[in-house]
Amino acid sequence: MLARPNRLTRGADYKAVVRRGRRCAAAHTVSYVSARAEAVTAPPRFGFIVSKKVGTAVVRNTVRRRLKAVCAEAVGTVRPGTDVVIRALPGSANAAYSELRAEISRCLARSAA
C-alpha cells in the first residue's frame, strides 16, 4: 500500500506529469515520469489512470491494486522529488503481476538514467 505522501491526489498534478513527463510505453502500461524542481527532498509520488476500456469496476480496481503494489515495492528505487503517472492499457486486465512489475521497473529504471 502506498502511503499518503507517495500518492498524487490533485488533477492538476496528473495533468502536469502527463504533459511534461518523460513517456515510456510498454505492452500493458504507459508511464510518465517527471521531476519536481522545487521538491528535491520530497518523497516520490505515484498516480494511476485506469479507464473504463480496461474493464468493469471490479477489473479496474484489481488492476489499480496491482499497480499500487508494484509501485510500493519500487518506491525505494525512485529518486526523491519524482512524480510518476501510470496509465493502464486494456490488455493490463489479463496481464500477470510479474509482467506488470517488469514493465514498471523497466520504465522507472529507464527514466532514472
Return the pLDDT at 112. Answer: 67
What does 20-58 look like in DSSP terms, one character per residue? HSEEEE-SSEEEEEEE-TT-SSSPPEEEEEE-TTS-SHH
Whole-model pTM over 0.75: yes
First to last CA, the chain: 26
Grid coordinates standing for 98? 510479474
In 3D, which of 9, 3, 99 has the Cα closest to residue 43? 3
> What's the DSSP call for residue 85?
E
Number of structural domains, the chain?
1
Q: Please state, rounded to an integer, the average pLDDT across all residues of the chain.
A: 92
- Containing domain of residue 76, as a range? 4-112
Q: What is the CATH number of the domain that holds 20?
A: 3.30.230.10
Say which residue, 71 or 1, is predicted with more confidence.
71
